[in-house]
Structure 1
Amino acid sequence: MISSNDFRTGVTIVLDESVWRVVEFLHVKPGKGSAFVRTKLKNAKTGNVVERTFRAGETVPQAILEKSEMQHTYKDGEEYVFMDMETYEEGRLSAAEIGDRVKYLKEEMKVNVVRWGTQILEVELPNSVTLEVIETDPGVKGDTATGGTKPAIVETGAQVMVPLFIAKGERIRIDTRTDTYQGRE
């Protein structure tokens, strides 16, 4: 159990059978009445954000999350097979469990899997990945870095907007958090 007075950004709590992460908090002590804590909570599984007010000193269950480093080894049908880097045990995750970041997942990539009990909450990819462009419109003489952008499909099947000068076969760095082009490798 954790007191609402101990809320900090990043603390995880259990409400309504779900795990919520504290995004913002504000201790309010009005001149009249009792103190309270106004929070903004983000659901760890769905990403929904809600605002909730707690009485000062109110206790709620704290969610203890377990993070383990795993390496993606191969894809078996609709499931992705991962190897735990400490125990060398295999685990399988579906695309739904991994979420929308599955579009950047490639073999031999190390990820962090965040669990609450037996429930998988999140698969954290590296902040940036280097992938090869397999399909894009050809570059034309005069294309510059400050010009426009065009769509490109990378080796994992994801589509990213890249500068006009990027050609098929080039390796580019992509920010997995914002789905944006960062540069060439």
Structure 2
Amino acid sequence: MGCGGLHYGDGWVKLFLRLTMRADAREIHSGVYDLMKANDIRPGMALIVDGQLWQIIKIDHVKPGKGPAFVQTKMKNLQTGSNIEKRFRTAEDVEGVNLDRRSMEYLYSESAGAVFMDLESYDQTTIPKDVLGDSLLYTKPNQEILGLVYNGNVLSIELPAAVDLEITDTPPGVKNATVTNVMKEATLETGLKTRVPDFVNTGEVVRVSTTTGEYMSRVTQK
């Protein structure tokens, strides 16, 4: 093979192919997918946007009366914990990232952050509270949770759609009340503040959405 008067033997060709395959392997290891369309984005997916790693928290497919359709997203930065809302055109190319999910147990919080233990290796990881943001309001000690892993590093956690938490403080309700549209303030065991129906009382367990923080139902204890 020649180029501009220079000739390369088979050895150079084989070396070039090996380096190319190694580069491809590094790209696969880093978890970067081929480009995908914004219309295919789903909650829980991760994207590289402006050089930062983001996880999709919420999406809405919008078809306005005028103008092209778009995807409205709420995203969490897995490196800083900040949240933003961003709009993508439905046909826009986005770069997806493959995040591994690892079963972990939330142990406790300290000044440096929250400590989680890998349930397979028993290794402990501290995630800064700034990165976790409000996630700790939905997480109790000894609770099993999914850790989000990128290139071998635990970056953050993935919450379930809803969690069950005990009410630690709320005003007494009206006796024998069953009406659900009368709401009152309540503080839950993690410090989360929400509104619950008037008939729910301190000491009871309620199910709340981890997306909105809103009351979903009262949990019957077995």
Q: Please state which band the TM-score falls in when normalised by the shorter chain.
A: 0.7 to 0.9
- Is the helix fraction higher in 1 or 2? 2
Unaligned runs of 5+ in 2: 1-32, 62-68, 78-82
Partner of residue 152 from structure 1, selected from 186, 200, 220: 186
**Aligned-partner residue type, residue 49 of structure 1:** K
Compute the displacement of 1:12 (Å): 4.5
**Residues 32-81 of structure 1, C-alpha deviation per residue, up to 9 Å, x if partnerless?**
xxxxxx864744513432225778xx7x7542322212110122235211
Structure-2 change in CA distance of 1:47 and 1:111 (3 Å): farther
SS at 1:103's partner residue? helix
The equivalent of 1:51 in structure 2 is 88
Compute the displacement of 1:126 (Å): 2.4
Q: Does 1:86 align with 2:123?
A: no
What is the correspondence of 1:97-136 to structure 2 with a 5 Å cutoff? 97-117=131-151, 118=153, 120=155, 122-136=156-170
Aligned-residue identity in percent: 27
Q: TM-score scaled to structure 2, two decimals?
A: 0.62
**Aligned-partner residue type, residue 167 of structure 2:** V
**Aligned-partner residue type, residue 145 of structure 1:** V
Q: TM-score scaled to structure 1, two decimals?
A: 0.73
What is the correspondence of 1:9-24 to structure 2 with a 5 Å cutoff? 9-10=41-42, 12-19=46-53
Compute the displacement of 1:24 (Å): 7.9
The equivalent of 2:219 in structure 1 is 184
Partner of residue 172 from structure 2, selected from 116, 138, 141: 138
**Aligned-partner residue type, residue 82 of structure 1:** F
Structure-2 change in CA distance of 1:87 and 1:136 (3 Å): same
Larger radius of gyration: 2
Structure-2 change in CA distance of 1:12 and 1:157 (3 Å): closer
**Aligned-partner residue type, residue 219 of structure 2:** R
Instruction: Quote the Cα distance in structure 1 between the aligned partners of 2:90 and 2:208.
Output: 38
- Is the strand fraction higher in 1 or 2? 1
Let me know the Cα RMSD of the aligned residues: 3.2
Instruction: Quote the Cα distance in structure 2 between the aligned partners of 1:130 and 1:112.
Output: 16
SS at 1:74's partner residue? strand
Q: Does 1:2 align with 2:37?
A: no
**Residues 147-184 of structure 1, C-alpha deviation per residue, up to 9 Å, x if partnerless?**
40001111111111111011111222222222122223
**Aligned-partner residue type, residue 162 of structure 2:** S
Cα pair 2:47 2:95 within 8 Å, conserved: yes
Structure-2 change in CA distance of 1:85 and 1:135 (3 Å): same
Query: How many residues align structurally?
Result: 170
Compute the displacement of 1:115 (Å): 3.2
Unaligned runs of 5+ in 1: 26-37
